[in-house]
A and B are shown apart, each in its own frame.
Chain A
Amino acid sequence: GAVVSQHPSWVICKSGTSVKIECRSLDFQATTMFWYRQFPKQSLMLMATSNEGSKATYEQGVEKDKFLINHASLTLSTLTVTSAHPEDSSFYICSRTSGGLETQYFGPGTRLLVL
């Protein structure tokens, strides 16, 4: 069964509003989780590494004030897209690793459409 869940699975919002996406690790206490963005027919691009109890680490070119990440517990990380614009429309995916192993487990993704 699924080990990582995301909520909501899809969301439509108006331009200028903020949207929060939740990512839950269902079977493992994850100190580190990852947030990716996937454009249509393109690969996943890592946006940031979410660290439990500390600040997220953002990849170059990702605006940390626009994509707010909170990892308040070992099973939950949230991504908030602030003041969303149509260009933020995308598929957002989170993942976690399994302890010290290299394999990542991905959530089913959240499709965001900003009108």
Chain B
Amino acid sequence: GNSVTQMEGPVTLSEEAFLTINCTYTATGYPSLFWYVQYPGEGLQLLLKATKADDKGSNKGFEATYRKETTSFHLEKGSVQVSDSAVYFCALTFSGGYNKLIFGAGTRLAVHP
């Protein structure tokens, strides 16, 4: 079946450190891949997405590249800020149908000054 696996958190970093959150997927076919972010007390927001192999999604300094050969979509940021503290969810869906999203378990990021 289709599934998403994320690295376990929490991830604790100092401000300006480099961030990587690993995400791999299992899918029948070619899904679109997403990173959603949930800030404390708020709903999920789309952070970035990629719809085909080798695409790179980017937003707010975050990047992720759709790697079909490794079935991965790792999230990276060169220099994190305290305001990036949140829970990050990797997800996949297939075009057409009901656009059902399949989420990973989420990774909590805590950035300290």
Residues of A near any B CB (own CB < 8 A): 4, 32, 34, 41-46, 49, 57, 93, 95, 97, 102-109
For the residues of A in contact with B, the DSSP-based class is strand
Q: Which of B22-30, B41-49, B58-66, B70-78 contacts A (4 or more CB under 8 A)?
A: B41-49
Check A104 against B106 for contact (C-beta < 8 Å).
Answer: no
The answer to whether A106 and B44 touch (CB under 8 A), given A42-B105, A43-B106, is: yes
Decide yes or no whether B20 CB sits under 8 A from chain A.
Answer: no
CA distance A104 to B34 in the complex (A): 10
With A93-B44, A102-B95, A106-B43 known as contacts, the answer to whether A43 contacts B104 (CB < 8 A) is yes
CB-defined contacts of A45 to chain B, threshold 8 Å:
103
Binary CB contact string for chain B from 11 to 52 against chain A (1 if under 8 A, 0 otherwise): 000000000000000000000101010000011111001010
A104–B43 Cα gap in the complex (Å)? 12
Identify A57's interface contact among B51, B89, B98, B101, CB under 8 A. B98
14 A–B contact pairs at CB < 8 A? A4-B43, A32-B98, A34-B101, A43-B89, A43-B106, A44-B89, A44-B103, A46-B102, A93-B43, A102-B99, A103-B34, A104-B46, A107-B43, A109-B43
